[in-house]
């Protein structure tokens, strides 16, 4: 069998002192952190679209990456080579999961029937390779944004014909995800938004989207797919305004349409920052509602205002993310998917390994640090102390719904001015630094 990464051996853990760029310094899959191994905590996944289909092109220049699996005359031969290269990569890197869009793994043909036949063909190959290697599918999704038919959206398209096309495409992608034992199915509304309010009936588009998501639930049940349905918020890009703006917006949408028991959220770092939040903010918003299902790990660039999808290397961000994940006792069926791309100048195959090793080590460090912080309990004690006035007396009555404005006014007339209490932010930041 042809090797696509012949110069690279299986990546091993060598510990924090190793200087080998092709070794893990922190990710030691079988090491236990608390009750679970690192592998079980982190559930790493590689994104098919960036790692195997990315070309490095940008608005100013075409493809630059050297990808030996792209060299084939026939598009299905190319798809097969890409899938084989992907499984060689997953195995050498030692990740337990991967994710795809339908159109990443098999190219579209002239009509849906032929397109579906191509997809089925590649899914059969993926099934065999999953079986041979033990690598599993974290999630499948459908690309309903690249083809010109989706220019005005898929589920929110003003043309019902396009809506029906998107439904047919997602039906097939859900069935393929089920066939491959996928743990989740993701909806990212690539063009579900508007670029101009003058031609947009926003209420209609949102009602349409809800109908779309209801039908997805109905089909999930019909085919017996047991995975979690996930929605991935993003505020803008490609449209000026995406309806799934951020975690809070998606949650209230789900509550408004009675879909809250059917969907969880897949939170992406760079999407949260594009929405003007920190990554940990959106993770927390999803988590406190019991809806943090999975993560797309990456990062933006402070100097660039778009979705740069850089590999995550910021230890603070990884630590804060892992604090939220540990607090909710893991991601359930979800995982940490590197929805990230190497930079245009990092065009050879070795760069793909460096990038993923760095991302995995960052989250492994974040996990170790977050676990220690949690175990020591200092931060949690500080926070619980800060709210202790709601545990007894008048505060307790407030939380139990046993008081009213009149009684609170009486309370203040008797007790007078509250004492100022410091929030100790700098002290807490110093505390976090002492663990990093």
* Residue 102 among the catalytic residues: no
Strands 36-37 and 32-33: antiparallel
**How buried is 235 (Cβ within 10 angstroms: 0-12 exposed, 13-18 middle, 19+ buried)?**
buried
Stretch of 85-93, 280-288, 332-340, 413-421 contacting Co ion, by CB under 5 A: 332-340
Q: Which helix (H) or strand (E) holds 279?
A: helix 279-288
Shortest reach from residue 268's CB to ligand XUL, in Å: 5
268 binds Co ion per the rule CB under 5 A = yes
- Please pick, from the candidates 232, 246, 280, 282, the single residue that binds ligand XUL as defined by CB under 6 A: 232
Shortest reach from residue 63's CB to ligand XUL, in Å: 18
Catalytic position from the list 26, 102, 104, 282:
104
Say which entry of Co ion, ligand XUL, none residue 234 contacts (CB below 5 to 8 A, set by partner kind).
ligand XUL
Binding to ligand XUL in span 75-104, by CB under 6 A? 101
- Whether 56 and 344 have beta carbons less than 8 Å apart is answered as yes
Binding to ligand XUL in span 194-223, by CB under 6 A? none
CA dist 336 and 43 (Å) reads: 6
Say which entry of ligand XUL, Co ion, none residue 307 contacts (CB below 5 to 8 A, set by partner kind).
ligand XUL
Q: Supply the DSSP string of 79-101, one letter for each residue.
A: HHHHHHHHHHHHHHHT-SEEEEE
CA dist 382 and 360 (Å) reads: 30
338 binds ligand XUL per the rule CB under 6 A = no
In 340-392, alpha helices (H): 349-376, 378-386
Return the residue nearest ligand XUL (CB atom): 188
By beta-carbon proximity to ligand XUL, the closer residue of 49 and 411 is 49
Shortest reach from residue 9's CB to Co ion, in Å: 30
**Helices 378-386 and 425-435, packing angle to 10 deg:** 160
307 binds ligand XUL per the rule CB under 6 A = yes
268 binds ligand XUL per the rule CB under 6 A = yes
244 binds ligand XUL per the rule CB under 6 A = no
Stretch of 128-136, 144-152, 162-170, 263-271 contacting Co ion, by CB under 5 A: 263-271
- Please pick, from the candidates 102, 296, 307, 349, the single residue that binds Co ion as defined by CB under 5 A: 296
- Please pick, from the candidates 45, 51, 81, 141, the single residue that binds ligand XUL as defined by CB under 6 A: 141
188 binds ligand XUL per the rule CB under 6 A = yes
Binding to Co ion in span 335-354, by CB under 5 A? 339
- Whether 265 and 306 have beta carbons less than 8 Å apart is answered as no
Shortest reach from residue 55's CB to ligand XUL, in Å: 15
Cα torsion for 418, 424, 425, 429, to the nearest 10°? -160
Among 7, 78, 52, 10, residue whose Cα is nearest residue 352: 52
- Inter-CA distances, 350 with 84, 93, 313, 353, Å: 17, 11, 17, 5
* Residue 101 among the catalytic residues: yes
Q: Supply the DSSP string of 382-435, one letter for each residue.
A: HHHHHTGGGSSHHHHHHHTT---HHHHHHHHHHH-SPPP----HHHHHHHHHHH
Positions that interact with ligand XUL (CB under 6 A): 49, 101, 141, 186, 188, 232, 234, 268, 296, 307, 339
Question: Which positions are annotated as active-site residues?
Answer: 101, 104
């Amino acid at each position: 069998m042809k090797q696509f990464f012949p110069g690279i051996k299986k990546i091993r853990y060598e510990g924090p002192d190793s200087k080998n760029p092709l070794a893990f310094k922190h990710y030691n899959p079988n090491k236990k952190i608390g009750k679970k191994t690192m592998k079980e905590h982190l559930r790493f996944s590689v994104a098919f679209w960036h790692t195997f289909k990315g070309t490095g092109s940008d608005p100013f220049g075409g493809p630059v990456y050297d990808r030996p699996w792209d060299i084939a005359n026939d598009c299905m031969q190319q798809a097969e080579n890409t899938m084989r290269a992907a499984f060689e990569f997953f195995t050498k890197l030692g990740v337990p999961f991967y994710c795809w869009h339908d159109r990443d793994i098999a190219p579209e043909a002239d009509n849906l029937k032929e397109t579906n036949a191509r997809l089925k063909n590649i899914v059969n190959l993926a099934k065999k390779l999953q079986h041979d290697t033990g690598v599993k599918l974290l999630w499948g999704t459908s690309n309903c944004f690249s083809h010109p038919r989706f220019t005005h959206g898929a589920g929110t398209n003003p043309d019902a014909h396009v809506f029906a096309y998107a439904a047919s495409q997602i039906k097939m992608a859900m069935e393929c995800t089920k066939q491959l034992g996928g743990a989740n199915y993701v909806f990212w509304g690539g063009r579900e938004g508007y670029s101009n309010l003058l031609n947009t009936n926003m209420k209609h588009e949102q009602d349409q989207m809800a109908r779309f998501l209801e039908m997805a639930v109905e089909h999930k049940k019909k085919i017996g797919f047991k995975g979690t349905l996930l929605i991935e918020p993003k505020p803008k890009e490609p449209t000026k305004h995406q309806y799934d703006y951020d975690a809070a917006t998606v949650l209230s949408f789900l509550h408004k349409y009675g879909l809250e028991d059917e969907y969880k959220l897949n939170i992406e770092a760079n999407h949260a920052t594009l929405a003007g939040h920190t990554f940990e903010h959106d993770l927390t918003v999803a988590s406190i509602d019991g809806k943090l299902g999975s993560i797309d790990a990456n990062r933006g660039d402070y100097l660039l205002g778009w979705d740069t999808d850089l590999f995550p290397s910021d230890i603070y961000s990884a630590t804060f993310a892992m604090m939220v994940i540990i607090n909710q006792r893991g991601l359930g069926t979800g995982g940490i998917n590197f929805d990230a791309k190497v930079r245009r100048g990092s065009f050879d195959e070795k760069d793909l390994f460096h990038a993923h090793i760095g991302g995995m080590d960052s989250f492994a460090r974040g996990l170790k640090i977050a676990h220690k912080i949690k175990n020591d309990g200092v931060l949690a004690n500080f926070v619980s102390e800060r709210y202790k006035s709601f545990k007894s007396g008048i505060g307790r009555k407030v939380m139990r719904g046993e008081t009213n404005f009149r009684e609170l006014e009486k309370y203040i007339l008797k007790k007078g001015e509250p004492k100022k209490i410091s929030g100790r932010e700098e002290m807490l930041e110093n505390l976090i630094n002492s663990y990093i």
